[in-house]
Amino acid sequence: MSFSENESPCRDNTAIRIRNLSKCYQIYDSPRDRLKQFVIPKLKRFSNQPPARYYRDFWALRDVSFEIKRGETVGIVGRNGSGKSTLLQIICGTLSPTEGTVEINGRIAALLELGAGFNPEFTGRENVYLNAAVLGLSQREVDERFDDIAAFADIGQFIDQPVKTYSSGMVVRLAFAVAINVDPEILVIDEALSVGDELFQRKCFSRIEAIRDSGATILFVSHSGSTVVELCDRAILMDSGERLAVGKPKQIIGSYQKLLYAPVDKRESIRSQLLQASEVMPERVSEVDSLPTGTNKEQDEGGQHLQENFDPHLKPVSTIEYESRGATIESIQILTLTGEPVNGLVRGKKYRYCYNVKFDVAATNVRFGMLLKTISGLELGGSISAPSLAESVPFIPQGKVVSVEFTFHCYLNPGVYFMNAGVLAVCGQEETFLHRKIDAIAFRVLPETSSTATEIVDFCCTPLVSIDE
């Protein structure tokens, strides 16, 4: 195994190169076994007897390989215990791999266990200098950045008080402020994007976006699919210490959710499918079969008199279907209020999103849902049939087919969008998906030339500009 940073620069503009990385821990059933392992094998070797083992191996990582280019933002997703944090710790040098190599090209700033390196007896100011030195900054560089660090942390006069007097929120704010202000070439983040209140979280996101825009490489772990889709160029799916897939964030998040909600008896087969699909998931040119260009025939010169239409070629190729737990979603479509199927929608009009659910087993506390997303996978909003389990459908018998309908106003600007469909019920002690289809249907909001709305959602604003004489 080997670990290098800047000594042998990664080739081909690569910031991080991981090759056949594995990490093994020795697990003991009791402290007595640990003592036995320390003493008895030495005695057996001394007497030329076969060594004994009083532990079992646990592989937190197994043969993981991937590369990250300079300037890329890559998210790592996976269930708890899949090896994500172990992988980041090895990349940052706080853990040593059992096998494999790690090559790093650039200065790393790590947001792992925020505040873990703080000395509680030191003041916040002293800890800033201490942590910044660990991250590779000289005292002069810290002097130049200290005001920015203190302003970002925003803990006021507490900066000169011992850290042991801080709240946990103040500690992570200060730790985040230090790490984020060292101008890293590579930023590594482990679930540190939820620190502080909402305003501080937005400040953190804004700073990370600025670091990304400056050309830095960002690698982070998150359980938030929307965050990965919004921030990342690529995503990596980990499970049981293995790298299952690498690809576009939308594809990876869909595969992760399918694996996460799979029944236990189906999980291994889904893992095998993902491993066997390809070394790298293919990047589709388009998320739909057809994205025609040119002027739509329903649009006149003034952008008026648009008429809904149905394009049979507008079909998603990114659909991911969960394993059924006794229900199946069928006949998904968007209808006008008069019942005509459409997938070319006019902004401002009202539509019906409909699907049927066939129940192969009886279900209790049933709810139905929908979710709207952009072509990149950004979740815009959704709805569920009941706000709580107490108001859900209490019981649906086996063999029943239920019709579900969500009526909505289309306040989206022109573009292609996707809808999910899902049915949930209580299984055992928790609510879970009986069936779900991601990117179940695609639709297009027709273009118009007279609109003043921008971005994704039309807020129906009326612009008024007054110029004083």
Residue 7: CA count within 13 A, CB half-sphere:
6
Question: Per-residue pLDDT averaged across 227-252, rounded?
Answer: 92
pLDDT, position 131: 84
The pLDDT confidence band at residue 196, using thresholds 50, 70 and 90, is low
pLDDT, position 278: 52
**pLDDT (tens digit, 9 = 90+) per residue, 58-100?**
999 999 999 999 999 999 999 988 999 899 999 988 899 999 9
Q: Does residue 28 contact residue 54 with C-beta atoms inside 8 Å?
A: yes
> Same domain for 246 and 352?
no
pLDDT, position 53: 83
Q: Does residue 159 contact residue 125 with C-beta atoms inside 8 Å?
A: yes
| 455: in domain | no
Provide Rg for the chain, Cα atoms: 27
pLDDT, position 300: 44
**Domain containing residue 96: CATH number:** 3.40.50.300
> Same domain for 203 and 91?
yes
| DSSP character at residue 457 | B
Q: Does residue 165 contact residue 137 with C-beta atoms inside 8 Å?
A: no
| 85: in domain | yes
The pLDDT confidence band at residue 8, using thresholds 50, 70 and 90, is very low
**pLDDT (tens digit, 9 = 90+) per residue, 159-180?**
999 999 998 788 888 888 888 8
452: tokens are 């003043």
Question: Per-residue pLDDT averaged across 250-268, rounded?
Answer: 90
> Same domain for 234 and 86?
yes
Q: Give dist(CA 442, CA 248) in Å, integer.
A: 18
**Is residue 296 predicted with pLDDT exceeding 60?**
no
> Same domain for 79 and 202?
yes
| 149: in domain | no
The pLDDT confidence band at residue 49, using thresholds 50, 70 and 90, is confident
Number of domains in the chain: 2
**pLDDT (tens digit, 9 = 90+) per residue, 176-195?**
888 888 888 999 988 766 66
pLDDT, position 94: 84
**Is residue 393 predicted with pLDDT exceeding 60?**
yes
Write out the residue range of the structural domain in which residue 398 sits.
320-445
> Same domain for 333 and 214?
no
For strand 14-27 and strand 108-111, is the pairing parallel, antiparallel, or unpaired? Answer: unpaired
